[in-house]
Every structure is written in structure tokens, then in C-alpha cells.
């Protein structure tokens, strides 16, 4: 496992690779494995697609907007290829796995195609070799030649692949197949290697982190994994993302009380109305969800909670949407994301007639985010006047002299940031983890100054 070695910023170099990773953090890990495999085969990494001999686009096919982004990106890359016919283009990932035949017809200039089964064989694919596709979705291990691309202070660790839930709206099981866990030993080994590279925070990702180990017959798999990760020298923070609310039990909450475990939960509820929750094939309606949140906050009083919701699901009328608004105000989430419902082929909800227009979906999404902005600001204001631990990410690109980082209550690439100034005479923070006195709070971000 290594950090990227970038190609020269200008000019064309033989054997250069640019990889564009779309979609979620789980996709990013697969992209990093592809980069590692290509580097091992002699490619030099560049972040400039126009200067690369080979461009790989790792697509997302989760919902309509993600597919639109993938197609837009392919068109942009193929325009570069028209200017430079020697450039080779690989389309990979979830969207290719989901709809390869249609994509091949729409983008005949793409040189090579691969879905989600052969990320580790990307160098062979890019060389034009015929390979027999893998039998199941690729899941990397600690031995995979991964090239970590996130800031040096933190990294994602994917602990499983696929999903065995059957939520009515979700195509992930159709793309990735059933849930498959890595071994705990593999995850711990990788996390230890990252710590030796200087990584201070590992963020465990999966389509359902709370299911970890169950396919291997292990109970309390995630709780036990967290306890093992806590013992790794050099790691300061361990966070897990995307779990199912009904799977957050007392045993897991006890493990989260460990000093290195971020008291942070990313638990999508999707909706609050009982009828819609049932149609979505989810587990907890608003009333039961509020009881679960009370239990979590009793066990972990300082926990930060993020959720994701869907608006515009078939049957969401004014009454159902009002129930969702009441739930959000009562739940007081620290962080929240909203998706407009996208009908997905092959899912149970695809058979339901759409009852909400695209314009109304967007209006409802905006209304939910407006409600949440005020709640998030109040949550942030609790930190004003306090000194908090901040994991440094780098200089603030939008404000000269300021730096950015995150508190334990902020997940990477999803929540807000902490912007902070340095003492006079200092040009950079003294360490990866620093202490910041918070002076002001916005809807999503905090601002303060480094102390000590």
C-alpha cells in the first residue's frame, strides 16, 4: 500500500494513467486498487486526463443523476480522445455492470469495458487481453496493490462488498450481489499498514457496515472489529459509515465508547411515514426511529448522527411529507442528506406508479434541507467557545491563510469542515491532530483558531 506518485504537471509522458472516480467512497477504494494495479504494471499516475495515455472512468449507476454524471464524464473524456486518437479509454464500475450493452451502443469509441468483478485485472484489460470475468463482485484485501488518494491524514477501508437487504428502491444487490465480508484479520492488517504510513483516521465503509461478519457466522462482528482496531498503534480515530438503524444494538454502542472510536453514526432512515417505510421495505417508521435515537443518545450522550432520506417516493402526498418534516424536527440530526426518488429497473418500487413530479421532488428536497440547515446550525453552535480536536486536511483553497480540518463529529466528504487560522509566525499546523478554539458556527462549518 502506497501513496500516489503524480506524473509531471505538464506535457505528455508515455505510460501515464488518469483515473476519474465517480460516486461513493466504496467506488473510490476500488479506483485506488485499480491505480495500484496499473502503477505496479509500470504506469505513471497523473491527475490530468488530457495528458494521460490511458483514462479510466469508474462509473456509478446507483440512481439517475449518477448515471447522467457518468455519461457526461464519458463524453468529456471521449472528446479528449477525438483530439488525440492514441489515447485509450476504459469504462468501468457499477453503471457498466448494470447496463453495459446500452452503454456500448451509446459510446462506441470507448476502447475497453469492465464491470465490478475485475478491478484487480485492470492492467490486463487496458492492454486489450481477453479475460474471463470473475464470478462475483471483486473485494480487495490487505494484499491488494492499493494507491491511497485521500489526504494523508485519513483513508477509507472497505470492509465488505454487496448487500443482502432487499430495500424496495435500491439496485445495489442487483449490481453487486449478496453481502460478502472481508476477514477481520485482513481489515486490521490493512489499517495497521495505513497507520504506518501516517494515517490517523480510518473510515470503514460498506453498503451495510453493521452487517459485518454475519455472512461468516460471526455475531457482533463490527463491535469486535472496532475493539481490535483500537489497539493499533498510531491510529487516533476510527469511524464507520452507513449502518442500518435497526442493527445498532447495545453491544455496538458499548464498543463505540472506546477512546479511539468516533461517536458518530451514519444511519439512513429514508422516511418516517409508516406506509411509505413499509413500501420501501425498510425497518423503522418515524415513531420507532425516534425511540431508537433516544436509546442511542442515552448510551452515547455526545454522539453525532447523520441520516439520509428519500423524497418523492410513490405515494408521498402532503400528509406523508408532513410526517417527514415533523420527524426531522423531532430527531434533531446533526447531519442530513436528501435524495429525490429515482425509479430503478428491477427493484420492487419500480412497479409503483410515480405520483410526484420531478419539480415537486426538488422542491421537497430543498424544503427538507432548509429545515435541516437551522437544526445543523444549532448543533454547531454548541461547539462555540470550546476547544476541540481537529484532524488537519490541508490549506483552505478558498481563503488564504486558513487551514481546514474535521472534528470527530464530522465525516469526510459528507459533512462540514472546521476552518482555522494559525498563530502569527506559523506557516502550517504543527501536527496532523491539533487543538482549535471554535469562535463561530455556520449551518455546516465551524471557524476558529489553532491553540497550543
**Which superfamily is assigned to 387-451 in CATH?**
Nucleic acid-binding proteins (2.40.50.140)
C-alpha separations of 230 from 39, 238, 406 in Å:
32, 7, 20
State the average pLDDT over residues 409-419.
96
Domain at 16-126: CATH code: 3.40.50.12160
pLDDT at residue 261 tops 50: yes
Residue 200 contacts residue 235 (beta carbons within 8 Å): yes
Q: pLDDT tens across 4-57, in order? A: 433 333 333 349 999 999 999 999 999 999 999 999 999 999 999 999 999 999
Within 10 Å of residue 187's Cβ, how many Cβ atoms? 23
* CATH match for 154-381 among 3.90.550.10, 3.40.50.300, 2.40.128.20, 3.80.30.20: 3.80.30.20
Banded model confidence at residue 272, pLDDT cuts 50, 70, 90: very high
Residue 344 contacts residue 314 (beta carbons within 8 Å): no
Banded model confidence at residue 2, pLDDT cuts 50, 70, 90: low
Most distant CA pair in the chain, distance: 64
Q: pLDDT tens across 199-240, in order? A: 999 999 999 999 999 999 999 999 999 999 999 999 999 999
Write down the pLDDT at residue 288.
96
Banded model confidence at residue 1, pLDDT cuts 50, 70, 90: low
pLDDT at residue 59 tops 70: yes
Domain boundaries, the chain: 16-126, 154-381, 387-451
> What's the first-to-final CA gap in the chain, in angstroms?
34
Banded model confidence at residue 452, pLDDT cuts 50, 70, 90: confident
State the average pLDDT over residues 379-392.
97
- pTM over 0.85? The answer is yes
Amino acid at each position: 500500500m502506497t501513496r500516489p506518485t503524480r506524473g509531471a504537471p505538464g506535457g505528455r509522458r508515455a505510460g501515464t494513467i488518469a483515473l476519474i472516480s465517480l460516486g461513493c467512497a466504496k467506488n473510490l477504494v476500488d479506483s485506488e486498487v485499480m491505480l495500484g494495479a496499473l502503477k505496479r504494471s509500470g504506469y505513471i499516475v497523473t491527475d490530468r486526463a488530457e495528458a494521460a495515455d490511458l483514462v479510466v472512468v469508474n462509473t456509478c449507476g446507483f440512481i439517475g443523476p449518477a448515471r447522467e454524471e457518468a455519461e457526461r464524464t464519458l463524453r468529456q473524456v471521449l472528446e479528449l480522445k477525438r483530439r488525440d486518437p492514441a489515447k485509450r479509454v476504459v469504462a468501468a464500475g457499477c453503471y457498466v455492470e448494470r447496463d453495459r450493452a446500452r452503454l456500448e451502443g451509446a459510446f462506441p469509441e470507448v476502447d475497453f469495458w469492465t464491470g465490478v468483478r475485475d478491478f484487480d485485472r485492470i492492467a490486463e484489460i487496458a492492454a486489450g487481453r481477453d479475460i474471463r470475468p470473475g464470478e462475483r463482485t471483486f473485494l480487495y484485501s490487505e494484499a491488494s496493490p492499493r494507491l491511497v488518494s485521500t489526504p494523508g491524514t485519513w483513508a477509507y477501508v472497505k470492509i465488505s462488498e454487496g448487500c443482502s437487504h432487499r430495500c424496495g428502491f435500491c439496485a445495489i444487490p442487483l449490481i453487486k450481489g449478496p453481502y460478502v465480508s472481508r476477514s477481520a484479520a485482513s481489515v486490521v492488517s490493512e489499517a495497521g499498514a495505513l497507520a504506518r504510513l501516517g494515517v490517523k483516521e480510518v473510515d470503514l465503509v460498506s453498503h451495510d457496515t453493521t452487517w459485518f461478519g454475519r455472512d461468516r457466522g460471526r455475531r457482533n462482528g463490527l463491535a469486535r472489529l472496532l475493539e481490535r482496531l483500537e489497539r493499533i498503534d498510531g491510529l487516533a480515530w476510527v469511524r464507520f459509515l452507513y449502518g442500518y438503524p435497526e442493527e445498532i444494538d447495545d453491544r455496538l454502542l458499548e464498543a463505540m465508547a472506546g477512546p479511539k472510536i468516533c461517536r458518530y453514526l451514519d444511519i439512513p432512515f429514508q422516511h418516517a411515514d409508516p406506509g411509505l417505510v413499509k413500501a420501501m421495505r425498510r425497518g423503522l417508521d418515524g415513531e420507532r426511529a425516534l425511540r431508537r435515537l433516544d436509546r442511542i443518545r442515552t448510551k452515547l450522550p455526545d454522539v453525532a448522527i447523520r441520516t439520509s432520506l428519500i423524497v418523492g417516493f410513490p405515494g408521498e402526498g402532503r400528509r406523508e411529507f408532513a410526517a417527514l418534516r415533523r420527524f426531522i424536527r423531532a430527531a434533531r440530526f446533526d447531519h442530513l442528506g436528501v435524495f429525490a426518488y429515482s425509479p430503478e429497473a428491477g427493484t420492487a418500487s419500480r412497479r409503483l406508479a410515480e405520483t410526484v413530479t420531478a419539480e415537486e421532488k426538488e422542491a421537497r428536497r430543498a424544503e427538507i434541507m432548509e429545515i435541516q440547515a437551522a437544526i445543523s446550525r444549532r448543533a454547531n453552535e454548541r461547539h462555540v467557545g470550546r476547544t476541540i480536536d481537529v484532524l488537519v486536511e490541508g490549506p483552505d483553497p478558498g481563503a488564504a491563510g486558513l487551514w481546514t480540518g474535521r472534528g470527530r463529529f464530522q465525516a469526510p466528504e459528507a459533512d462540514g469542515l472546521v476552518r482555522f487560522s494559525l498563530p502569527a509566525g506559523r506557516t502550517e499546523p504543527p501536527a496532523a491532530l491539533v487543538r482549535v478554539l471554535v469562535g463561530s458556527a455556520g449551518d455546516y462549518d465551524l471557524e476558529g483558531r489553532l491553540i497550543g
